[in-house]
Amino acid sequence: MKFYKVRDMDFLMDDNFPRPLVALAGNPNTGKSTIFNALTGLKQHTGNWPGKTVSLARGTFYHRNVKFCVVDLPGTYSLLANSLEEQVARNFILFNRPDVMLVITDATCLERNLNLALQIMEITDRIIVCVNLIDEAAKKGIYVDGDVLSKELGVPVVATAARRGIGLFELKEMIFKVYSGKVKPSPRKVNYGEELEKAIGELVPRLENTFSGRINPRWAALSIISGDYSIEDLEELVKIRDESREESAYGYSFFSQLPGNRGLK
């Protein structure tokens, strides 16, 4: 296992992670590390101390003769890049484009956890949602219907109770299936409303050209429109944003130029 000290984001850019690459994302305290350990057979401790250097734990496991590389991303509540952890998680998914993106959710408070899953669905399609802690949820009288959830999200869902080893084999199977293309997730994305979707639709073709598939254009468009500061990290994105602004079409103040902008809320 290797720990990467994140001082700047540079190390995320050079693609030195062995493939196939599986990334684990999820809210803090969802048992993400338990699943990581169960998959890779490693013991690891990670602290959730904002301000401390973010470390990424990395391990491997074999399933059906394929050696998967697993990276445990920092636990976050969102990918809106408000903190270093969120930036690291987001940039990793953006730039390293994992072959399988595993989103660990807590069955006892699924709603909050789905926010993150929905945001990750904006960046990548190859998602598996893992509903963990189903044993704890059952104790509290909460039951998650995996089939309904899978249909609503458009991605495969696996229920687990990682601490008791329940559902781990199924999880590995699903990782293999998504990796090998036997299961093709097609996330049902959030509809942001007519006005925003129109703006996104206009930006996407241009971004598609620039990034030629390296970065999800819909995500990039969303970030530009929402004036996400953290995209200052991504020089190419900034360039496009600024060009767009010169044509007085989009940019930070796109919406403030529209009459009735404040009424959007």
Sites of contact with other proteins (CB under 8 A): 27-29, 45, 47-52, 77, 80, 82-84, 108-112, 114-115, 118-119, 140-146, 148-149, 152-153, 190-193, 196, 222, 225-229, 232-233, 252-256, 261-262, 264-265
Smallest separation, CB 119 to other proteins (Å): 6
HSE at residue 58, side-chain half, CA atoms within 13 A, is: 15
**Could you give the CA distance from residue 182 to residue 111 in angstroms, rounded to a whole number?**
28
For the stretch 184-207, what's the b/e string if a residue is b when 16 or more beta carbons lie within 10 angstroms of its beta carbon?
A: ebebeeeeeeeebeebbeebbebb
SS (H, E, C) 187-247: CCCCCCCHHHHHHHHHHHHHHHHHHCCCCCHHHHHHHHHHCCHHHHHCHHHHHHHHHHHHC
Smallest separation, CB 63 to other proteins (Å): 27
Strands (E), 6-73: 21-26, 55-63, 66-72
- Which CB atom, from 99 or from 106, has the smaller least distance to other proteins? 106
Smallest separation, CB 45 to other proteins (Å): 6
Q: Which residue has the tokens 């190859």?
A: 126
What's 250's DSSP letter?
A: S
Smallest separation, CB 228 to other proteins (Å): 8
Smallest separation, CB 69 to other proteins (Å): 26
Smallest separation, CB 137 to other proteins (Å): 9
What's 113's DSSP letter?
A: H
- Which CB atom, from 209 or from 261, has the smaller least distance to other proteins? 261
Q: Facing residues of 103 across strands? A: 25, 129
**Could you give the CA distance from residue 190 to residue 187 in angstroms, rounded to a whole number?**
9
